Structure 1
């Protein structure tokens, strides 16, 4: 019973405290805060360039994706 009462008191008292201070970095409101330099990166950097290709015969396309093995 004493352990339950102690736990209940701890929970109730912890609810009265404020949130912990945020210390993840510099204050965002500080105009003198250091920031990493900006660099230009095009929006299309790393994309593949797809050009139109001639159509292939459907039978060759089907054979390239058909399961291997049993031939009937």
Structure 2
């Protein structure tokens, strides 16, 4: 009963294994993905002001279609 507790306590004192990428961060031979250009506005919708519209037609477009009530 004492041995597992002692091993667990001593295991916490062991030095952690440091990955090679962290032990030598200034490695000039490290593989790096190539830099590519991507527009920051790619896929963005234009939100320009719209002119005046017929409010009756807009209301007709958003009202539910006539049909059986569910």
Report the TM range for the smaller structure's normalisation. 0.5 to 0.7
C-alpha spacing 1:55/1:28, structure 2 compared with 1 (3 Å): farther
Q: Give the structure-1-normalised TM-score.
A: 0.58
Larger RCO (alpha carbons 8 Å, 6+ apart): 1
Instruction: Kindly provide the CA deviation profile for residues 6-49 of structure 1, in whole angstroms up to 9, marking residues without a partner as x.
Output: 33112211111112222568x43112222111111111122112
Runs of 4+ off more than 3 Å: none
Q: Gaps (5+ residues) in structure 1?
A: none
State the alpha-carbon separation in 1 of the partners of residues 18 and 63 from structure 2: 58
* 1:41 paired residue among 29, 38, 49: 38
Correspondence for 1:60: 59
The size of the alignment, in residue pairs, is: 64
